């Protein structure tokens, strides 16, 4: 349910909504049986509540039926990967990325979630052709990764995309991958924009992005 709540919203908001959901309802059966208007208000902090509330209840109904009322999805751990992914994909509001998140983080399966950071960084590095659709990006990247590379690849590309290879302009002056980066090669020719390395924060100011990396200051929580 946290994965659904996280769709198209910030992590802070999705965790706030998930915390409210678990505080209000003692079981998934209660969430499934809740009046839709009530559930919408409970998860409103997560954004898009009128869309996500019925989606959550539809998914819960499918999971309850598939698990014979146990809410146990451990069968996905032993199901062939493609079949497990297709089963999740068939749930209301669950797409390729969400299915991959469940399989990777809950069951350790080598399914790669391609979010905006992974897609952007992989494209800039030249691992994906320009304007590759997200669905195709999942297939292309999974084809070149070994199973034990999927988790670190996903996590590190998100970190790199948030901290350094940011949209709309990457901070190439901090990047250790410029020697293999297709974007940087174009930026060196003046064809693509890059951001300057951030300056140190003035005395007394709260440190910002990269200050730990550049200046030895710990970033804010």
Neighbours of 111 (CB within 10 A): 26
- Residue 97 is among the residues annotated as catalytic for this protein: yes
Indicate the DSSP class of residue 202. Answer: P
Is residue 6 within 8 Å of residue 45, measured between CB atoms?
no
Length of the chain: 221
Q: How many CA atoms lie within 13 A of 190 on its CB side?
A: 0
Tokens representing residue 85 in the block: 């992914």
Q: Label residue 70 left, alpha or beta by phi (over 0 means left) and psi (-120 to 50 means alpha).
A: alpha
- Measured CA to CA in angstroms, residue 115 lies from 55, 57, 123, 151, 161 at distances of 20, 24, 12, 13, 10
Please tell me the distance from the alpha carbon of residue 35 to that of residue 134, in angstroms, as a whole number: 35
**Of the listed 16, 97, 210, 211, which one is catalytic?**
97
Q: Label residue 202 left, alpha or beta by phi (over 0 means left) and psi (-120 to 50 means alpha).
A: beta
Indicate the DSSP class of residue 218. Answer: P
Would you please indicate which residues are annotated as catalytic (active-site) residues? 97
């Amino acid at each position: 349910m946290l994965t659904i709540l996280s769709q198209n919203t910030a992590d802070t908001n999705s965790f706030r909504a998930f915390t409210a959901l678990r505080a209000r309802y003692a079981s998934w059966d209660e969430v499934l049986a809740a009046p839709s208007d009530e559930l919408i208000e409970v998860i409103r902090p997560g954004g898009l509540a009128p869309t996500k509330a019925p989606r959550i209840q539809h998914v819960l109904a499918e999971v309850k039926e598939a698990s014979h009322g146990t809410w146990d999805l451990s069968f996905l751990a032993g199901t062939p990967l493609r079949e497990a992914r297709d089963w999740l994909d068939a749930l209301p509001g669950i797409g390729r990325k969400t299915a991959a998140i469940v399989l990777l983080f809950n069951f350790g399966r080598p399914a790669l979630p391609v979010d905006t950071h992974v897609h952007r960084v992989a494209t800039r590095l030249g691992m994906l052709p320009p304007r590759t659709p997200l669905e195709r990006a999942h297939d292309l990247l999974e084809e070149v990764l070994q199973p034990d590379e999927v988790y670190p690849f996903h996590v590190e590309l998100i970190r790199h995309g948030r901290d350094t290879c940011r949209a709309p302009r990457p901070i190439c002056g901090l990047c250790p991958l410029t020697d293999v980066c297709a974007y940087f090669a174009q930026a060196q020719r003046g064809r693509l924009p890059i951001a300057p390395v951030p300056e140190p924060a003035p005395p007394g100011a709260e440190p910002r992005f990269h200050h730990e990396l550049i200046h030895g200051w710990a970033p804010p929580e």
